[in-house]
Amino acid sequence: LQLQESGPGLVKPSETLSLTCTVSGGSISSTTHYWGWIRQPPGKGLEWIGTIYYSGTTYYNPSLESRVTISVDTSTSQFSLKLSSVTAADTAVYYCARRTSGWPFDCWGQGALVTVSS
Amino acid sequence: EIVLTQSPGTLSLSPGEGATLSCRASQSVSGSYLAWHQQKPGQAPRLLIYGATSRATGIPDRFSGSGSGTDFTLTISRLEPEDFAVYYCQQYGSLPYTFGQGTKLEIK
C-alpha cells in the first residue's frame, strides 16, 4: 500500500488549504480501514486532524473541527483535506495515513509541507 | 482529551546500550490502545508497537512495549545506530486521537 499527498505548497493567510491523498496498492473502499490526516509543524510534534471511512463518515479533532472538511472519492481512490481560514500557525507537514480498525495509523504518506504566508 | 506526557525529552545513549522511554496518560487508555512510532529526520513516522505490547510487522525484537492503564514504556535493548530518532506514543482508544510530545534518542 502506498499513500501520496499532493497539493499547493504555499497558501495565503485567510485562504483554504487543500490537499489530496492518493491511495495505491490497496482498496480505499476496504471495510476495515480508515483514512486520516495528521500534521506536524516544523520542529514540533504530531497532531491528528481527522479521519474518514469509505462511506463518508468523518471524525474530526475538536480543536480544528470548525475549519476542517475531509471527503473521500472511492472512484479515484483519493481522500481530501480542506482547512479554511488558515494562519501561519497552520504551517506544517501534512501526512495522510491509513488506520486499520483496532490498530493505530500503520501506513503513512511521505508528507507534504504547506507554508502559510503572503 | 487524553494528554500523553513523554519522558525524558531527550535521551543520550551509546550504541549497544539499552533505552527506556516513558509515556504517561492523563486518564486510562481504553483497551490499551497505545502505540509507539519512530520518526527519523525528513521521514514520516513508522509504527513500531501497537496495543501497548505488540510489535508491528518487520520490527526487530529488540523493541518491546509494556504497560497498561496510564503508564506505558518502550524499551530498546542493545541500541543500533539506526535507532537514534524521535519516538512518539499515541493513543487511539478515544477520540480525539492524541500523541505525546516525543522523546529524542540521540547518540552520546
Each residue of B4-58: pLDDT tens digit? 999 999 999 999 999 999 999 999 998 889 999 999 999 999 999 999 999 999 9
CA B22 to CA B5: how far, in whole Å?
A: 8
CA A34 to CA B31: how far, in whole Å?
A: 19
B96–A108 CB contact, under 8 Å? no
- pLDDT grade for A62, boundaries at 50, 70 and 90: very high
Residue A57 phi, psi (nearest 5): -65, 130
State yes or no: pLDDT of A26 exceeds 90. no
Q: What is the pLDDT of residue A35?
A: 96
Report the gap between the CA of B86 and the closest CA in chain A (Å): 10
Chain A residues whose CB is inside 8 A of the B37 CB are 46, 104-105
CB-based burial label for A57 (10 Å; 0-12, 13-18, 19+): exposed
CA B32 to CA B38: how far, in whole Å?
A: 19
Q: What is the pLDDT of residue B12?
A: 97
CB-based burial label for A22 (10 Å; 0-12, 13-18, 19+): middle
A96 in Cβ contact with A77 (< 8 Å): no
- pLDDT grade for A43, boundaries at 50, 70 and 90: very high
* C-alpha cell at position B38: 519512530
Mutation pick from B94, B97, B98, B103 vs chain A, by most beta carbons of A within 10 Å, is B97
State yes or no: pLDDT of A93 exceeds 90. yes
Q: What is the pLDDT of residue B73?
A: 98
State yes or no: pLDDT of A102 exceeds 90. no
Chain A residues whose CB is inside 8 A of the B10 CB are none
Q: CB contacts < 8 Å between A and B, how many? A: 53
Chain B residues whose CB is inside 8 A of the A95 CB are 44-45
Report the gap between the CA of A59 and the closest CA in chain B (Å): 8
Chain B residues whose CB is inside 8 A of the A102 CB are 33
A89: helix, strand or coil: helix
Instruction: Kindly report whether the peptide bond that precedes residue B8 is cis, defined as omega within 30 degrees of 0.
Output: yes
Tell me, rounded to whole angstroms, the distance of Cα B86 from its chain centroid.
9
Chain A residues whose CB is inside 8 A of the B99 CB are 45-48
Q: What is the pLDDT of residue A13?
A: 97
A105–B88 CB contact, under 8 Å? no
Q: What's the pLDDT tens digit per position in B71-106? A: 999 999 999 999 999 999 999 999 999 999 999 999
